[in-house]
Chains A and B, each alone.
Chain A
């Protein structure tokens, strides 16, 4: 089983992100379970949502406490809650930021986990550029596909088309494609560094 935890704030599409991750996995024939950490959602308040992937039926209903991967939609959360709690030693971290891990004061994490499974993506900027709104979730899903190799970009596109239509879908697909390339590029650079 592969477990993904997504941290963000109300209004950033955190729950939608995990739902779309689950749809992308489903498109590839896998079992997937997405669910929010339930609460009264308020714009700006910290939100957590979860996604499990497996090749067999997923029966487990506990929250994800030891994630294989973290997607952090809002870097200001780093100062507010322990987003890294329980992260597996060989886990993935995708962070929404135009800055590097070192610039964000996460040098220790990079030293501990190496560059290969960590990536920072300016997802909010990509959202503004392609969709006209500062919603980082779709670029981050595509970036995560690139980082983890868990899904193909085409599956992310299918999930986008299931959720959105018309211009919004087009914008999201463009944002996803650019995000995917940016993370791939970052991984190449990390591999040669």
Chain B
């Protein structure tokens, strides 16, 4: 049913349709309306049988999810930003134990400096945790990916993060088609665990594994993600058949047919990028888009096929691998190894900095003309950066950087209005 609703509320409805049996969450910031709405549904009896467990921290949230999943319950939680970092030890345990938990990460920056706004630093920090990571472009896709995520997680007995841009998607009201319970039930069978803690048939989960077997266990985690490369497109196709729309899959291309320049990105910024690409196509530029939906497993082959006929690619990414550049770019470099392609990294939107069409348009034109540095920081205020660098050169006691930059920004904004 088509509804005009908030992204978080839509995801809550989608998760409820997946019939989770345990939802655990730490309700304090960073959190979204997702678990709030699910909590209300459990309380009102709309979602049952389901136990909603209000835990004392994100570490406890993931620990409870591990326990409930091992006991055979379909388990869900959601977090973001520092909350994800706080649960990290348990995040690795969930995947290491092969428990098919689904977690929404409402992507936000990581501090310090304290910042509550959107970028991808939180999920990207968990790229090697063994969790699969699927990035939603729209709220519709966020809804659909959750339904696919439970199926994927449970088939492989591995956990999945559904990543959706915090605020930009979670807080946006837009049109979403919420499927019926019958549709979801026909797509997602009841959870049939590969391993379960059952008092009548006792086993142990979580053995200590020494050098003699650790690599094999780790390799099998990798093997599962390789299997996911097969399953994700299958599930997307089955989803399309049952629900009538394209959602999910490994990658999605847009106007790449004869593109000389291809822009690569993940998440909601793909929408803005497509608008810019349409404008540039109308002006005769041969430009297209490659959206990465599955970041883990990373679809090396599909990314390579999408890029192999272009001349250059620009990766617009909402993360910074400090001291290196962009995480997605370095991964793509592996995918296009041996192809003679020029590639650029554009770091954009960190800490919620808006990514306007105008800045992207200029970036893409610069890329076409070969006028980009290998790593570009989109809309960086070089003036305040250079002033701080100069201050550090001149003064040993140059003070805290964040406070200095805020001060400099305050001065420049008062100059603008005064």
Contact = CB atoms under 8 A, between A and B. Distances in A.
Interface of A: 18-19, 22-23, 25-27, 31-36, 38-40, 58-63, 65, 82
A26 B175 contact: yes
B4 A60 contact: no
Given A60-B357, A61-B168, A34 B173 contact: yes
Contacts of B417: 82
Contact of A35 (B138, B171, B271, B355): B171
Interface in B403-418: 417
A147 B127 CA distance: 51
- By DSSP majority rule, is chain A's interface helix, strand, loop, or mixed? mixed
Interface residues of B, number: 26
A47 to B, nearest CB: 13
Contacts, number: 66
A27 to B, nearest CB: 8
B356 A33 contact: no
B354 A38 contact: no
A28 to B, nearest CB: 11
B272 interface: yes
Given A23-B4, A38-B167, A40-B116, A60 B272 contact: yes
Contact of A63 (B116, B118, B354): B354
A32 B268 contact: no
A25 B417 CA distance: 36
B172 interface: yes
Q: Which of A22, A34, A59 has the most CB of B within 10 A?
A: A59
Given A33-B173, A38-B171, A38-B352, A61 B4 contact: no
Given A61-B269, A61-B355, A63-B356, 10 more contacts: A31-B174, A32-B4, A34-B174, A36-B171, A38-B116, A38-B117, A38-B118, A62-B355, A62-B356, A82-B417
B172 A33 contact: yes
Given A22-B4, A65-B356, A59 B173 contact: no
B139 to A, nearest CB: 10
Nearest to B417: A82
A59 B274 contact: yes
Contact of B173 (A19, A27, A65): A19
B110 to A, nearest CB: 16
Contacts of B173: 18-19, 22-23, 32-35
Nearest to B4: A26
Contacts of A62: 272, 354-357
Nearest to A40: B116
A61 B316 CA distance: 14
Closest 9 interchain pairs by CB?
A59-B271, A26-B4, A34-B173, A38-B167, A35-B172, A62-B356, A22-B173, A19-B173, A33-B174
Contacts of B171: 35-36, 38
A35 B168 contact: yes
Nearest to A26: B4
Interface string B346-377: 00000010111100000000000000000000
B6 interface: yes
A65 B129 CA distance: 39
A19 B271 contact: no
